[in-house]
């Protein structure tokens, strides 16, 4: 097992509040890693730092060995850390295909980028079409994103996150608001993505999903890692039980 994403001593403070406190974390290629914890534990803050949306106050983030701490959001995406959002953030007035095509930007040099921005339309569209077929939205390519039903929005966001050279795909509560059938569909899709290559890193509250598909689970509480390991190990870990259900004293009436 090799870690594609290595996090060491990551810290984020908001005023006097330590949202994330010296977090160590490894996300391995070909695995599904889950980040769980009660509301306010700092999970989304971790995602925001890993995707370049907020800068960490201390600590290191390494992607495939390269230091990417504090890199801008678009650089993170091009380096291969892509994400979805807790509430889908799509480009609502663009078509489904255009939503994915926008995300296929990987040029490294300015000259290459200029040429691609003006002339790579066909290549981008072809790749986008292939990704849409993968997530099962091929027949809706021409519709506006705003016209998709809720369950499809997450699929579209996933296709967008897979565009480019995704090495780590981060999903912020991918099954929130879905019915059981949609949850099953999405879990199958996540398995398919894992087989495609990138590491999957998810925040999730749905324990059935977490325990079923995760290879490893990290538990945060008040910004600190309180447990880590296989789903079976984490489920019975005393600190986790306490964080979720309260201490023994409060639990007895």
Partner 1 sequence: MRWAPRLLAVGAVAAAPWLISALGWRPSYLLQLAGLLPILIVAALSETIIAGFGGQVSVGQAGFMAVGAYTTGLLAGSAAWPWVASIGAGVLASIAVAALVGVPALRLRGPYFVMASLAFGGIAYVVATNWIEVTGGPGGLRNLAPPAFERVGLHPDVGVFYMLWIAGFGTVGLVAWFRDTPLGRSLLAVREDELAAAAVGVHVALVKSLSFMMSGAIAGLAGALLPLFVGLVTPDAFSINQSLLILTQVLIGGIDRIRGAIVGTVLLLVVGELLRDFAEFQLLIYGLVMLGVILFFPRGLVGELLARRPARARMAG
Binding site for partner 1 (CB under 8 A): 51-53, 72-74, 77-78, 82-83, 85, 89-95, 97-99, 101-106, 110, 113-114, 116-121, 124-125, 141-144, 147, 160-161, 163-164
Cβ contact 223:41 at 8 Å: yes
User: Strand, coil or helix: what is 39?
Assistant: coil
DSSP state letter for 137: -
What is the C-alpha separation between 129 and 28, in angstroms, rounded? 28
CB 244 → partner 1: shortest distance, Å? 30
CB 193 → partner 1: shortest distance, Å? 16
What is the C-alpha separation between 90 and 154, in angstroms, rounded? 9
Q: Which CB, 146 or 179, lies closer to partner 1?
A: 146
CB 97 → partner 1: shortest distance, Å? 5
Residue 3: which H helix or E strand, with range? strand 3-14
Query: Among 226, 183, 182, which Cα is nearest to 207's?
Result: 183
Q: Which CB, 164 or 231, lies closer to partner 1?
A: 164
Cβ contact 105:128 at 8 Å: no
Q: Which CB, 143 or 228, lies closer to partner 1?
A: 143
What is the C-alpha separation between 30 and 197, in angstroms, rounded? 6
CB 184 → partner 1: shortest distance, Å? 27
CB 189 → partner 1: shortest distance, Å? 18
Q: Which CB, 115 or 232, lies closer to partner 1?
A: 115
Q: Which CB, 6 or 172, lies closer to partner 1?
A: 172
């Amino acid at each position: 097992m090799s870690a594609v994403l290595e996090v060491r001593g990551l810290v984020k403070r908001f005023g006097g509040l330590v949202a994330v406190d010296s977090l160590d974390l490894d996300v391995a290629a070909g695995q599904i890693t889950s980040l769980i914890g009660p509301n306010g534990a700092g999970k989304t803050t971790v995602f925001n730092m890993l995707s370049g949306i907020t800068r960490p106050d201390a600590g290191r983030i390494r992607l495939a060995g390269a230091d990417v701490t504090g890199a801008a959001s678009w650089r993170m995406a091009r380096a291969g850390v892509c994400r979805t959002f807790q509430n889908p953030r799509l480009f609502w007035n663009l078509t489904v295909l255009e939503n994915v095509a926008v995300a296929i930007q990987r040029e490294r040099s300015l000259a290459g980028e200029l040429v691609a921005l003006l002339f790579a339309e066909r290549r981008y569209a072809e790749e986008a079409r292939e990704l849409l077929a993968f997530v099962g939205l091929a027949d809706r390519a021409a519709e506006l994103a705003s016209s998709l039903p809720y369950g499809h929005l997450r699929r579209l966001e996933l296709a967008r996150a897979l565009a480019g050279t995704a090495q780590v795909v981060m999903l912020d509560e991918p099954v929130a608001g879905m019915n059981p059938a949609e949850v099953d569909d999405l879990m199958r899709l996540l398995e398919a993505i894992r087989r495609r290559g990138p590491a999957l890193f998810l925040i999730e509250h749905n324990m059935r999903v977490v325990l079923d598909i995760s290879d490893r689970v990290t538990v945060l509480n008040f910004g600190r890692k309180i447990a880590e390991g296989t789903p079976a190990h984490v489920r019975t870990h005393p600190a986790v039980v306490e964080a979720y259900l309260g201490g023994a004293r409060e639990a007895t009436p």
